[in-house]
Amino acid sequence: MGRSGECPDPRPWERGGIWERERVSETTTKTLQYRMDGPEDAPVLVLGPSLGTTWHMWDRQIAELSREWRVFRYDLPGHGGAPAHPATAVGELTDRLLATLDELGIQRFGYTGCSIAGAIGIDLALRHPHRIASLALVSASPRFGTADEFRRRGVVVRTNGLEPIARSAPESWFTQGFAAAQPAIVDWAVQMVRTTDPGCYIAACEALAAFDAREDLGRVGVPTLVLVGSEDQTTGPAEARTLVAGITDARLALVPGASHLAPVEQPAAVTDLLVRHFAGVSQDTLTAIPVPPVPTVSAPVTPVAEIAPAEVPPQPTGRPDPYEPGMRIRREVLGDAHVDRALAEADAFTAGFQELITRYAWGEVWARDGLDRRTRSVIALTALVAGGHREELAFHTRAALRNGLTPEEISEILLQTAVYCGVPAASAAFEAARAVIREETAPSP
């Protein structure tokens, strides 16, 4: 993905060194195709793909993550040139992943899974909790739609092949603005689906049709980040909040301006959230990873191109200007719509104030590592109630939901303010917050 309009390389295996880092497991019916990047003695972080994609959906996270982690990416059966041995249950995919990791001597690892790979992560946490040090669920759900929806999708593929799914993928995966601005990425996405084995795709649909972990979420005992694009219409914020409500140690991260493939659409924000979540996780490290011989990819399809890493601009010397990180954090917390409106309404009289709060409130205070964003939202809500700033309270209620606070927790915070800030102030705060919560948690039409 790289510069705007730059097409991905359609034949990455012809460039020197690519196949030296890519591996296909020998026991192909019981294991998965994979790739590893990063120091061999580093703790392992596993990244799993969405249905219809390949491990290349994580390309723009690799440069940063592989500095501290041995990053293990895998392909679903029949995806990205992987051997076409269908798996019709999420548990079967989990077992193949563990068999692959067992071959490499990897016992404990951090795990991040997008969509169907998020279901694999939930299954791992339920059946093999001792293997996972920490978990991140991206664009995931404890129940993916209805069984009939996925079975109907399977019928479409059996009847018409994958072309209808490929043509509709960009609409499901990306926001309209991103798709319009990045036609090369849209083509890349369509090509990924087209090169998937139809039988394996149908089997994965069957696996999702049967998956339902809603009653078991309380048994997930590992620290969990639930990450979702604010514009995701497939597994959106409502599904994410169901996960957060059910998993004891979970927090929500809402990525503004992203749909289902948030790691592709908003790579910097997703990378930052993953780095923060997995930082400091205590894991077993690998002193040596046995490297199997490099075989030829056995699936009769052409592997799909990788996405170019995000370009890193030269770093200025001296103390960096906090304006750009401040704007990023401000958008992540308050949302693009609110920030765009505030900037659009600014004029020569107020522009200096907008710059002030972006640079110092968001780029200095909110960017500090001393408190997490949930805690900062608790403090902000309390201070706004005390000051009687009802309009700002509405904005920060929405921000609190983005930062992982549940409606129940917000209610408890406001109840506490009734004692220390006064009943009238708390009453007005409850009214303002309730309106926002109803809007944010209402089911999509």
Query: What does the pLDDT read at residue 193?
Result: 94
Query: What does the pLDDT read at residue 120?
Result: 98
CA 18 vs CA 34, 48, 93, 199: distances in Å: 13, 20, 26, 28
CA 236 vs CA 150, 229, 284, 442: distances in Å: 17, 7, 33, 12
Please, which pLDDT band fits residue 18 given cuts at 50, 70 and 90?
Answer: very low
pLDDT at 134 over 90: yes
Query: What does the pLDDT read at residue 142?
Result: 95
pTM for the model stands at 0.65
**Cβ–Cβ < 8 Å for 40, 68:** no
The stretch 147-155 carries a mean pLDDT of 82
pLDDT at 21 over 50: no
Please, which pLDDT band fits residue 28 given cuts at 50, 70 and 90?
Answer: low
Angstrom distance (rounded) from CA 191 to CA 194: 5
Please, which pLDDT band fits residue 324 given cuts at 50, 70 and 90?
Answer: confident
Give start-end residues of each CATH 1.20.1290.10 domain in the chain. Answer: 325-441
Q: Mean pLDDT across the chain, nearest whole number?
A: 83
More confident residue, 375 or 46: 46
Token match 């109840």: residue?
A: 415
Burial group, residue 55, by CB count within 10 angstroms (0-12, 13-18, 19+): buried
Q: Which CATH superfamily is domain 12-278 in?
A: Alpha/Beta hydrolase fold, catalytic domain (3.40.50.1820)
Mind listing the pLDDT tens digit for each residue in 220-274? 999 999 999 999 999 999 999 999 999 999 999 999 989 999 999 999 999 999 9
pLDDT at 428 over 50: yes
Please, which pLDDT band fits residue 14 given cuts at 50, 70 and 90?
Answer: very low
pLDDT at 43 over 90: yes
Give start-end residues of each CATH 3.40.50.1820 domain in the chain. Answer: 12-278
The stretch 397-423 carries a mean pLDDT of 88
Q: Which CATH superfamily is domain 325-441 in?
A: AhpD-like (1.20.1290.10)
**Cβ–Cβ < 8 Å for 86, 305:** no
